[in-house]
Structure 1
């Protein structure tokens, strides 16, 4: 990836992403401790509500923010959103009521819901070369996964020396550093959309999604990722400690196994995507995810045996691999499915719709597991994931226009425009 990180503007933007991710990871740990400090035994309910608020905010705010993304300079917008997050986080240690946490979470996540899609939409503009952009997607996936693995370790090291309240200071510092790096980067402004009204611009990305067969397929695959991924995100703690009878350290180890699978997929994909269509890679990932949850269902029916722990490590790693195979190429699909004027809206729609899938899957994984156990819950989630695959298969055609990366780099085509009628374009 040396040529990628030789690109000055990308290198600084990647540094900004790392700084913001590290801050977010520390805030996640600190928020859990703050909830316990305020609510005690009810901390789980507080965190569950905060997570639901986060997802609802993502789903509603991202498309609205996209409506104005082409009306303001993108660099200024990104810097301001980082500074909003940097100012909100230090207020969290001073709250003394649970409702105050919820209010601050809304503000914080609204800024994140505006920042992330805008940031993602910048990368195709500063990296027009398809190979470099693919490497950037892989690097972003690696950064996100490493954050989820390393943030708890860093937080534990900090907590061994100071109070958890200082984690919020680290979070704020991460956002300030991100803002400084973005400010030092040359970011082109977004192409102004030809759409007029706010409502039209807000719904533009969602309309493009539902008007474009391959993007409807992406939506189905988002559902697969959320259905199977919720097993890892929601059920890992209880499965390790209650079903397997193992320690808290093993919870971290199992999550690390999942992250290792995602990292492996992200490292392999840049070369694979040069030879294999995104559709093939992403459907392979969906199949791997379904195989992973099938393995989890099988494990949930077995109540003894020393082999259950290594088998769980393997299953969680398989789920991580499938997740990486599905999510890493998404940016390429979004890029070639949108014109310059709709790009911010399409990335915002992906951000909102993918989190809507998580909002559907999280309560199933949490509440149903409590009421009916792991086996029933994971069968329901497997059925939800299979539904996503069926949707994707029915909506994303095998043969579609626009797989040639070289041609698409020269002539990106909006899905709302009629396809060219030449025989060469039809053959693609």
Structure 2
């Protein structure tokens, strides 16, 4: 499980991730308190608006970053974004009106949308061994769940002695430390992109290519199932505990921690489960577990019954989320990883936005059976559609045909570029008009500059 930490570059990156996650967890608690201070009677509306703005920033910014991140030095880019986030978080205690808060939240999450996909795309280049990469994904998931458990407790302790504004400053310090650790890591440069075209071609390439890949469409649907179950926990746990069960608010954190415990428990086993069952069967199993857990909620369990139910949702969440990184990595070329991971970041957060809205709408007036049923139907439908879209025999190497074409784009000489030169073309990758003869061949297939449609297989 901890083998990837023997890699110095990943060790520094992971340490930085842990510190920044812990700081962000503290700031999340402080943000709720700041929203109440700004508008005591509409604190929920302010927090809901901040969440919506966060998702909009993710959806708008991530594809742009994906289209151009390969041209940037990764280490400096990631460190610079952490420093930028440190500055923005440090400004939050100065906020006096809601619109100022919304503006800072947008900028903060725009930087997160520029940071996370590039970080995710760098991991396969740092950890080239398949098993180590899978373990690293499990470690990252484990770090997120540890943060979700520790941050509220640490925040509660600190608030006994300090004002909540200090939590923002601690988050800023965390980002600065994370940036310093990044500068110590040797992060490989991104492979050069061979893509041609204008701004729209670069910005839209990742999402268009992602949605043309059958296994990625299936992975996105399974993340929709994950979002349906996860949104039920995040949005409606407090409603169920307070309104349905009539319990006090101190019973809420322990119940939500059950989901994190389930997620952490299975994270240790994911590498072995992936090796035994493969990505497809493990993720589909996770989708079915999430659907079943939501339907069990129709029995209207008491508090003791909710704990194992929430724990199973946590287990199913990791079964879907952790292998998703492997599926994205295996579905793109090295030069297009930034685009694909950015598309995955944007699209999966779009699924979460849909889940949040549905969980809130279905659970209005404390109608928990309707929420369980509606979200369960959504999760099961998404899982069954994913099983249909994702071929059971999902071969990476596919036969396909290339028609004859003349075009111009940056390229190196590989299986698609075997042509003569006159001496002026310069070192690879280089750009010059060249001709591709019509031919058919078989190799690992990904949507890219030369493969714009998924081949039909007999």
Superposition TM-score, scaled by structure 1 size: 0.92
Task: State the partner residue of 1:16.
Answer: 16
1:199 maps onto 2:200 in alignment: yes
1:161-240 alignment runs, 5 A limit: 161-196=161-196, 197-240=198-241
Task: State the partner residue of 2:263.
Answer: 262
Task: State the partner residue of 1:408.
Answer: none
Aligned partner of residue 397 in structure 1, secondary structure: coil
Task: State the partner residue of 1:136.
Answer: 136
Q: Could you tell me how far apart the structure 2 residues matched to 1:144 and 1:94 are?
A: 28
1:235-246 alignment runs, 5 A limit: 235-246=236-247
1:22-47 alpha-carbon deviations (Å, 9 max, x no partner): 12111110100000011002100100
Task: State the partner residue of 1:322.
Answer: 316
Task: Tell me if structure 2 keeps the 8 A contact 1:338–1:412.
Answer: no
Task: Tell me if structure 2 keeps the 8 A contact 1:204–1:342.
Answer: no
Task: State the partner residue of 1:33.
Answer: 33
Task: Tell me if structure 2 keeps the 8 A contact 1:257–1:316.
Answer: yes
Task: Tell me if structure 2 keeps the 8 A contact 1:58–1:113.
Answer: yes
* Shift in Å, 1:104: 0.3
Task: State the partner residue of 1:65.
Answer: 65
* Shift in Å, 1:372: 6.5
- Kindly indicate which of the two structures has a greater share of residues assigned to helix: 1
CA, structure 1 residues 374+2, in 2 after alignment: closer, same or farther (shift >3 Å)?
A: closer
Task: State the partner residue of 1:312.
Answer: 306
Task: State the partner residue of 1:374.
Answer: 368
Aligned partner of residue 275 in structure 1, secondary structure: helix
* Shift in Å, 1:412: 6.3
1:248-296 alpha-carbon deviations (Å, 9 max, x no partner): 2221101111001101111111111122210000000001101111122
Q: Could you tell me how far apart the structure 2 residues matched to 1:169 and 1:372 are?
A: 37
Aligned partner of residue 328 in structure 1, secondary structure: helix
Task: State the partner residue of 1:354.
Answer: 348
* Shift in Å, 1:190: 1.0
1:100-158 alpha-carbon deviations (Å, 9 max, x no partner): 00000000000001100100001000000001001000000100111111110110011
Unaligned 5+ residue runs, structure 1? 303-307, 404-410, 420-425
Of 446, 449, 453, 1:414 maps to 446
* Shift in Å, 1:413: 5.0
* Shift in Å, 1:5: 1.2
* Shift in Å, 1:2: 4.3
Task: State the partner residue of 1:331.
Answer: 325
Q: Could you tell me how far apart the structure 1 residues matched to 2:178 and 2:385 are?
A: 38
Q: Could you tell me how far apart the structure 2 residues matched to 1:272 and 1:389 are?
A: 19
1:177-197 alpha-carbon deviations (Å, 9 max, x no partner): 110111111111111222232
Task: Tell me if structure 2 keeps the 8 A contact 1:336–1:412.
Answer: no
- After superposing the two structures, state which structure 1 stretch, 2-11 or 214-223, moved more: 2-11
Aligned partner of residue 253 in structure 1, secondary structure: helix
- After superposing the two structures, state which structure 1 stretch, 201-210 or 256-265, moved more: 201-210
Aligned partner of residue 109 in structure 1, secondary structure: helix
Task: Tell me if structure 2 keeps the 8 A contact 1:339–1:412.
Answer: no
Aligned partner of residue 273 in structure 1, secondary structure: helix
1:108 maps onto 2:108 in alignment: yes
Q: Could you tell me how far apart the structure 2 residues matched to 1:362 and 1:203 are?
A: 26
1:81-160 alignment runs, 5 A limit: 81-160=81-160
Aligned partner of residue 362 in structure 1, secondary structure: helix
- CA RMSD, 1 decimal: 1.8
Aligned partner of residue 69 in structure 1, secondary structure: helix
Unaligned 5+ residue runs, structure 2? 398-442
Count of aligned positions: 407
Task: State the partner residue of 2:428.
Answer: none
Q: Could you tell me how far apart the structure 1 residues matched to 2:451 and 2:42 are?
A: 55
Q: Could you tell me how far apart the structure 2 residues matched to 1:390 and 1:56 are?
A: 28
Q: Could you tell me how far apart the structure 2 residues matched to 1:204 and 1:154 are?
A: 42
Larger of the two Rg values belongs to structure: 2
Superposition TM-score, scaled by structure 2 size: 0.86
CA, structure 1 residues 198+333, in 2 after alignment: closer, same or farther (shift >3 Å)?
A: same
Aligned partner of residue 123 in structure 1, secondary structure: helix
1:48 maps onto 2:41 in alignment: no
Task: Tell me if structure 1 keeps the 8 A contact 2:3–2:135.
Answer: no
Task: Tell me if structure 2 keeps the 8 A contact 1:78–1:119.
Answer: yes
Aligned partner of residue 185 in structure 2, secondary structure: coil
Q: Could you tell me how far apart the structure 2 residues matched to 1:367 and 1:43 are?
A: 18
Task: Tell me if structure 2 keeps the 8 A contact 1:336–1:413.
Answer: no
